Amino acid sequence: MSEIVKELLYTGKAKDVYKTGNEDEVIIKFRDDITALDGGRKDTLSKKGEYNALISAKLFEILEEHGVSTQYIRLVEPNEMLTKSLEMIPLEVICRNIATGSLLRKYPFHKNQRLDPPVIQFDYKNDVYHDPMLNDSIITALKIATQEELDKIREITHVINKVLYKFLNECGLILVDFKIEFGFDKEGNIVLGDEISPDTTRLWDIETHDNFDKDIFRKGEKGVVDAYHRVVDLVLTAEEKEKWNVEKIEM
């Protein structure tokens, strides 16, 4: 554990948040725990937390380079991220480029249908209510966010999608869909937070359409960590992999 970690602030399903000596910064530790099916399936997979942190850090850096404000500051360990402290908005923002998963179960889309423009949905981040989908009227009625804030979140999400789709495509991956979260910084700005990793995205091989994400675990299949490792290998530079001692993939 990094020396700057001071006190456990919050424990989630797969991450811990720690206070630091700076009230404006926190440490997010990515654990090896993995859950699916509303917590019905759980496991602990060695290296999974480290791979998610490395991937999230890289994608946050790419987004920052393209003008998207994130809470990310730097990695302090392969599985620990120093970040800005945010007041999180209890919304899961889901952006879908291809129809799959729950979208097929609930709506008459065709399997693997391209969605143009991408579909953006809001879910209420609340375990008690099982994260239901919300519309703008319910969100504003619950005072989760104002209409102006929702419009801004949609605008930022479209930018995030455009930037990451292009970057990941160049890495040999299709960004099928992803789930992100936002919060307010101390100035009241809306900032991207949490993580962007195979836990929160669907990533397909550009040629084979094989999964490199948590869908493998949802289906009860093996090879989750190998898939996450493969994403690390594709998105990090050789220098970044050497810096964080990422193991070589045996081909």
Q: At what angle do helices 147-170 and 48-65 cross, to 10 degrees?
A: 110
* pLDDT score of 93: 98
Only one residue has tokens 């970040």, namely 83
What domains appear along the chain, each with residue ranges and CATH number?
7-86+224-243 (3.30.200.20), 88-205 (3.30.470.20)
Q: Which pLDDT value is given to residue 4?
A: 62
Quote the pTM value: 0.96
Distance CA 77, CA 50 (A): 9
State how far the Cα of 183 lies from the Cα of 101, in Å rounded to an integer: 27
Is-cis flag, bond preceding 108, omega within 30? Answer: no
Structure tokens at 13: 């399903």
Tokens of 152: 């801004």
Q: What stretches of the chain show up as alpha helix (H) in DSSP?
A: 48-65, 102-106, 136-141, 147-170, 215-218, 224-235, 238-243
pLDDT score of 237? 97
What pLDDT was estimated at residue 43? Answer: 97
Report pLDDT for 145.
Answer: 98
Residues 6+ apart with CB under 8 A from 140: 146, 147, 150
Which two three-digit tokens encode residue 102?
A: 């729950």
What is the rounded CA–CA span in Å between residue 62 and residue 56? Answer: 10
Provide the pLDDT for residue 1. Answer: 43
- Mean pLDDT of successive 10-residue segments in the chain (251 residues)? 70 95 95 88 96 98 98 97 98 98 95 97 95 97 98 98 98 98 97 98 97 96 97 98 91 52
pLDDT at 39: 74
In contact, 63 and 160? CB cutoff 8 Å: yes
Using alpha carbons, list the distances in angstroms from residue 39 to 36, 42, 43, 116. 5, 7, 10, 32
Write down the pLDDT at residue 249: 84
Secondary structure (3-state) at 173: strand
